[in-house]
């Protein structure tokens, strides 16, 4: 785990109660196929005071997807209307589909004192980091690029051309890890989740 220099107040400095009442934003990102969803599901949401931010997407649901839990599945027209209305904190195109994170969902949960988890691709994460520079940003990486190929192939949901495109993009995205406050290696999903849980606890202190 690579931790950026802390901006926390020095020991002994009082922190006002109202400064602690607002929830934190947790951005979990990394290349497609690295296992973000698998690792995230191993986090104890109750213990970490976490809620998910559920993105919108124009892609078709997969067999394992649940509307309103995995994503909100919408038409391209509805998505474009939301973009024009400025409803997204970020939005991006990926693999011929669009994805977006509603601002209202993030900020209402923060006001309620919840830590908001955003599991998101790199392109969208960069936009969120600009809007919410105080966010705790975590980049999940594979032990090796070949691990990504094995995971993408194992899904059985994409053809070879799509997998090749994702791998090429992943190599570019890996170079952006330095923009994140923390980097976690997904060599084991439970171990990676435990490391992320510790990061969240420290960021909420």
> Could you tell me which residues come within 8 angstroms of residue 139 by beta carbon, excluding any fewer than 6 positions away?
29, 30, 176, 177, 179, 180, 182, 183, 184
E strand spans, 13-121? 25-29, 50-52, 56-57, 72-73, 88-94, 97-102, 115-119
- Domain assignment present for residue 143? The answer is yes
Residue 133 phi, psi (nearest 5): -65, -15
Chain segment 130-166, per-residue pLDDT in tens: 999 999 999 999 988 777 777 777 666 667 787 787 7
- Give how many domains the chain has, as a whole number: 1
The percent of residues above 90 in pLDDT, for the chain, comes to 62
Q: Which of 115, 109, 135, 112 has its CA nearest to residue 124?
A: 135
Q: Which of 67, 64, 23, 63 has its CA nearest to residue 45?
A: 23
64-91: average pLDDT: 95
10-24, 33-47, 81-95, 189-203: least confident range: 10-24
- Domain assignment present for residue 43? The answer is yes
- Domain assignment present for residue 25? The answer is yes
The residues that bridge with 115 in the sheet, in sequence order, are 50
pLDDT number for residue 3: 46
- Domain assignment present for residue 35? The answer is yes
pLDDT number for residue 16: 41
- Domain assignment present for residue 149? The answer is yes
101-124 burial, b for 16+ CB within 10 Å, e for fewer?
bbeebbbebbeeebbbbbbbbbbb
Task: Identify how many contiguous H helices and E strands the chain contains and give both numbers.
Answer: 8, 9
Which CATH number belongs to the domain containing residue 123 in this structure?
A: 3.40.50.300
For the cut 90, the answer to whether the pLDDT of residue 21 exceeds it is no
- Contact (Cβ atoms closer than 8 angstroms) between residue 43 and residue 37: no
**Which pair of structure tokens corresponds to residue 11?**
């020991």
116-140: average pLDDT: 94
- Domain assignment present for residue 171? The answer is yes
Domain of 41, in residue numbers: 17-53+114-204
What CA–CA distance (Å, rounded) separates 75 from 200?
Answer: 34
- Contact (Cβ atoms closer than 8 angstroms) between residue 14 and residue 122: no
- Residue whose tokens read 């290696």: 185
12-26: average pLDDT: 63
What CA–CA distance (Å, rounded) separates 54 from 163?
Answer: 25
**Which pair of structure tokens corresponds to residue 49?**
């005071």
77-97: average pLDDT: 91
- Domain assignment present for residue 184? The answer is yes
């Amino acid at each position: 785990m690579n931790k950026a220099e802390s901006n926390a107040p020095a020991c002994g400095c009082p922190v006002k109660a109202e400064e602690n009442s607002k929830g934190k934003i947790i951005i979990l990102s990394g290349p497609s196929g690295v296992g973000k969803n698998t690792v995230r599901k191993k986090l104890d949401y109750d213990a970490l005071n976490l809620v998910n931010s559920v993105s919108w997407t124009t892609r078709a649901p997969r067999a394992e997807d649940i509307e309103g839990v995995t994503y909100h599945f919408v038409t391209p027209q509805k998505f474009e209307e939301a973009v024009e209305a400025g409803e997204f904190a970020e939005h991006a195109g990926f693999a011929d589909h669009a994805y977006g994170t509603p601002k209202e969902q993030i900020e209402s949960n923060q006001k309620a004192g919840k830590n908001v988890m955003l599991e998101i691709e790199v392109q969208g994460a960069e936009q969120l980091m600009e809007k919410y520079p105080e966010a705790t940003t975590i980049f999940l990486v594979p032990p090796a690029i070949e691990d990504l190929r094995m995971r993408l192939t194992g899904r059985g949901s994409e053809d070879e051309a799509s997998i090749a495109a994702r791998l090429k993009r992943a190599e570019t995205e890996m170079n952006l890890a330095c923009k994140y406050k923390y980097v976690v290696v997904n060599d084991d999903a439970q171990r990676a989740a435990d490391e992320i849980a510790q990061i969240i606890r420290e960021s909420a202190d």
